[in-house]
Structure 1
């Protein structure tokens, strides 16, 4: 009987995408600013200072920008479809994988781990971005914000990503960068490993994850420590 049939699925590492595997902030900010410019307001977000908000999603960026003008939800919902359209057409202009990320994922695969992605980016956009970056084939699963009726921090998308990759939740962990990822791991009852090289830096330690990742060169060691 194979291990999976006996309930011993592969050890699995699930990654968030934006701000964890790839620095997508600049293209996301540009998409939000395109919305503001179309509405006659010019660029309302800064590519560096507002990078952390970019990793919280399109509506968060629009909300931040319109809050600065004293505007609100109506403008956000009006512009959100255009943001997705503009971003989809310019999705990889500035985006790059973080240093060492590709090699680290390849090492995990070679070491017998299943790897996948659980993101709050719409699934179609995530597919497009990963394909254009040339890394889609590295991941056995991809669950996006609209794959299921719920998204992170609900545990269901993470569980689906693990199962789609052929893994077992009790032998898995989530690599992420935000409180959303931390809450998702708690909901799923698994360890979280949060990166420290994003906009929040080592401030993510305040979220009390089971591990911190300072560079992808250290991923193998941290994964082995957390799930063996």
Structure 2
């Protein structure tokens, strides 16, 4: 029913995905880039992939800040100075450890086949998001891609979500955001649309407390959840 409803409306429904921690586990490559910076500082490999994945998915500056705090060396100027170094290191090895979550692309294709527009709204810089999706061989599956620097504002401001919906051919009032954080929850709430938070990422156990409109335990369940939420 979801496909008929979505395709039958003049205002196309859209499903917009966050990227890091939602569609793909990017933490390994992000941590490797941060550790490149820490090694240059003489601190060695500060972050550990197995235990620091949640930190990684909060962004590059958070990784630098948290790593420096562990050595009691936090300095905002150091974070700003090394952030471009981190981005360069990450761009050079962006898909070494990164993997798409099981069933992610099958769900995306099922949604497209059902008539939904599908796009991405991420706080990863646009060029890096484009590079990663291309390297993973899935960029063409998404009708839109709005990154952290695509617009003057970023999530949790609602405008990037709305723009991702528009660029995917949809009405921003009839979309749903699939994410993995309070940022995604707050973005959807600010836009007045539902959010679905995944429970299989590093912070999955914390998602229920954010009270999204739905929790996603496996991508196999996503088409039915979307149909329930936006028709």
Superposition TM-score, scaled by structure 2 size:
0.94
1:148 pairs with 2:157: no
Structure-1 separation of matches of 2:76 and 2:69: 9
Q: For structure 1, which runs of at least 5 residues remain unmatched after alignment?
A: 1-6
Q: Structure 1: which 4+ aligned runs deviate by more than 2 Å?
A: none
- Is 1:43 equivalent to 2:37 in the alignment? no
How far did residue 171 of structure 1 move?
1.3
C-alpha contact 1:24 1:96 (8 A) present in aligned 2: yes
Q: How does 1:173-212 map to 2 (within 5 A)?
A: 173-212=176-215
| Native 8 Å contact 1:66 1:75 kept in 2 | no
Structure 2 alignment gaps of length 5 or more = 1-8
In the alignment, the residues of structure 2 paired with residue 109 and residue 39 of structure 1 have an alpha-carbon distance, to the nearest angstrom, of 46
* Matching residue of 2:23: 21
1: CA distance, partners of 2:62 / 2:92: 20
Q: How many residues align?
A: 222
For 1:170 and 1:87, how far apart are their aligned partners in 2? 35
SS in 1 for 2:51: coil
Matches within 5 A, 1:1-228: 8-71=10-73, 72-228=75-231
Q: Secondary structure at the match of 1:117?
A: strand
CA separation in 1, counterparts of 2:172 and 2:140? 22
How far 1:169 sits from its partner (Å)?
Answer: 1.6
Q: CA deviation at 1:31?
A: 0.5
Give SS of 2:30's match. Answer: helix
What TM-score comes out, normalization by structure 1 length? Answer: 0.96
Query: Distance in 2 between the 1:220 and 1:194 partners?
Result: 14
Q: SS of the residue aligned with 1:170?
A: helix
Alignment partner, residue 4 of structure 1 = none
Shift of 1:81: 0.3
Question: What is the root-mean-square deviation of aligned Cα atoms in Å?
Answer: 0.9
